[in-house]
Amino acid sequence: MSEPQTGTDRPLVVVTGASSGIGAASARALAADGWHPVLGARRADRLEEVAAEVGGTALTLDVTDPDSVAAFVAGVGDLVRGGQPLRGLVNNAGGAKGTETVMEADEDKWRWMWESNVLGTLRVTKGLLPMLIDSGDGHVVTITSIAGLEVYDGGSGYTAAKHAEGALHRTLRGELLGQPVRVTEIAPGAVETEFSLVRFGGDEERAAKVYQGIEPLTAGDVAEVVAFAMSRPSHVNLDTIVLKPRAQATGMRFHRET
């Protein structure tokens, strides 16, 4: 992975799932705001490209693997000891697999969704919280989904995981009272990224139909909200931000142009 870029006065912000989509876009937006992104993801080649583009540091990370998370946290710790405080964490890694009903549920897909969305967020947050607190002005942003606020047919595995991730994140709000750490949940609706492609096992035609007839959010739209939340004064905590395309009312209700 890339050599740590120490000796700058930019505060560190960790972004997980940063090799593409919302994670990569968030790294770009935060770098433009004066942060030093520390990018974590499994796809090392794409991660290196984004890190080079934004002047950040790439560290391989698989949030479903406790050993990988431990090594990643240690790498961030090396940067902090080099003189750069860790002031930000954007929990973005996660995803969905399948649209089976409860009666047809695939436990392997459920297990992956819980590992990546819930336990992955737990592992990274738990590992980095001490450094965020020590910075004197930390901020945890978790990208959940409107699937963490509602349910829909065929989405039980993903909505269950996102509800759990949201509950984990919101619990921090009370547990960190009195500590110098802000906590923001960002819950997007339909965003056109690789999300649907992963969910449908690489079926490009099926993935494209999700966004047919609407103008979905882009990864950049969500990244701008991440950067805005993290640029507020230290005493301002934006607890929960929900954003959807204008053409979307709920997880399953859209106005589609024909």
Tell me the two tokens of residue 7.
């000796």
Q: Which residue from 96, 116, 147, 158 is spatially nearest to 17, judged by alpha carbons?
A: 116
- Integer-rounded Cα radius of gyration of the chain: 18
In this structure, which amino acid lies at residue 136? G
In this structure, which amino acid lies at residue 104? E
Which strands, in side-by-side order, build the sheet including 86-91? 57-60, 36-41, 12-16, 86-91, 138-143, 181-188, 240-243
**How far is residue 120's CA from residue 114's CA, in Å, rounded to a whole number?**
8
> How many residues are there in the chain?
258
For 15-33, give one letter per residue: b (16+ CB within 10 A) or e.
bbbbbbbbbbbbbbbbbee
Residue pair 228/221 in contact (Cβ under 8 Å)? The answer is no
Which member of 112, 158, 200, 254 is catalytic? 158
- Is 211 annotated as catalytic? no
Residue located via tokens 């540091």: 57
Tell me the two tokens of residue 100.
């089976």
- Which are the catalytic amino acids? 158
